[in-house]
Structure 1
Amino acid sequence: MEIITLPVTAFAQNCRIVICKKTRKATVVDPGGDADKIITELAKYDLTPDCILLTHGHLDHVGAAKILADHFSIDIVGPHKDELFWFDALPMQAQMFGFKPVTPFTPTHWLSGGDIFSVGELRFEIRHCPGHTPGHIVFYEPTHGVVFVGDVIFKGSVGRTDFPKGDAQQLLESIKKHILTLPEETRILSGHGPDTKVVTERISNPFISGKFG
């Protein structure tokens, strides 16, 4: 697996280009904006993505998804169907976050916890992790020990729960059930900020230890 991290938008959201080394098939995880920048980066490595994967429906994670899908004629896959209201509210989100106007769209395929989604020889286990948003999912690739967590957990922090349908207790339950139970050397690739590891967050994340929250 090769991973190219490309911060996009004023929110410095970590868009990830994920490549299967053996097949050179690729996907784009959470293209939050700056579609031209993402397309240029893909061209630099002579890559045509097979699909777009989304962890949740917040605009800074999906803002360039439809543009890329149309440009490459590919599907938008994920998140969980409970996220539909955020996609319907994309114009409102654009106003709220100061983005350019965005037309609502619906992913081609929804995903559920327990699903497996493949890109080349990469097999992503889907884990439904509500709390930051109700339909948030994470993509765990066990062979390479990597989990793409969107805004569920960050290095030393956790996702916000003050948006509509957020739930702080539910978020902590999701983290403890679906993230901290992964092998401790699993790399956590968050939607914002630096990467971390399961063992690091289990030991030192103050929100998980109960020091905060």
Structure 2
Amino acid sequence: MKYQIVPVTPFQQNCSVLWCEETNKAAVVDPGGDIDRILNVIKKEGLTLEKILLTHGHIDHVGAADTLAKSSGLPIIGPHKADQFWLDNLSGQSKNFGFLPVEPFTPTQYLEAGDKVTVGEQTLQVLHCPGHTPGHVVFYSDKDKRVWVGDVLFRGSIGRTDFPQSNHQDLIQSITKVLWPLGNDVEFVPGHGPVSTFGIERQSNPFVADQLFE
């Protein structure tokens, strides 16, 4: 599976376009805004966009999802239902974070741990990783050893837990008990900043390095 990161919104959120090389069918992960940038990648690569995938309900990750879905006739898949309260408060998020107005919406399908989503002939496994938000999910390609983690983990950092219904201990558990078992060689694409691997973070991340838990 190929992918391209498309930085969107003033927060430079890592929206990703993923596609199956056999079929050229694509999905977009976390379209927070700047739809034209996203569609330019789709057009340039000759792709057919078939679905929208959401890791969690924060506006910089979902702000353009409903508009893109309605304009292109696409389903919105994810996040977990526990994040619906964030989607219901998109108008408030717009004001609080200085975004253009965004209306609340409900996804076509909520996701649970163990679910699978397809992109063309490729399959992504769904893992529930609460902490940053209660309904945060990540999308893992076992074939490519790559995972889209949203705001759970970053290179050298972890997701914030000072939001309503965030929980720091849940976040640490999600990282160490759900993500780490996937393997040190797994590359992750975070919601902000550069990609990294779990092995690197287990060695040097000041929040979740292995030595902190010995």
Mark the runs of 5 or more structure 1 residues left unpaired by the alignment.
none
Structure 2 residue aligned with 1:20: 20
Q: How does 1:30-45 map to 2 (within 5 A)?
A: 30-45=30-45
3-state SS in 2 of match to 1:208? coil
Q: How does 1:76-95 map to 2 (within 5 A)?
A: 76-95=76-95
**CA displacement at 1:35 relative to structure 2:** 1.2
What TM-score, normalized by structure 1, do the two folds share? 0.97
Q: How does 1:1-213 map to 2 (within 5 A)?
A: 1-209=1-209
**CA displacement at 1:28 relative to structure 2:** 0.2
Structure 2: distance between partners of 1:21 and 1:41: 15
* Code of the aligned partner of 1:75: P
3-state SS in 2 of match to 1:139? strand
- Let me know the Cα RMSD of the aligned residues: 1.0
- Percent identical among aligned pairs is 51
Mark the runs of 5 or more structure 2 residues left unpaired by the alignment.
none
Structure 2: distance between partners of 1:67 and 1:41: 17
Map Cα deviations across residues 142-166 of structure 1 (whole Å, 9 max, x no partner). 0011000000000010000001000
3-state SS in 2 of match to 1:50? strand
Q: List 4+ stretches of structure 1 deviating above 2 A.
A: none
Structure 1: distance between partners of 2:85 and 2:165: 10
How many pairs does the alignment contain? 211
**Conserved in 2, the CA contact under 8 Å of 1:48 and 1:72?**
no
**Conserved in 1, the CA contact under 8 Å of 2:24 and 2:48?**
no
* Code of the aligned partner of 2:143: T
3-state SS in 2 of match to 1:118? strand
Using the TM superposition, name which of 30-39 and 123-132 deviates more. 30-39
**Conserved in 2, the CA contact under 8 Å of 1:126 and 1:137?**
yes
3-state SS in 2 of match to 1:171? helix
Structure 2: distance between partners of 1:177 and 1:122: 25
Structure 2: distance between partners of 1:88 and 1:138: 21
**CA displacement at 1:40 relative to structure 2:** 2.0
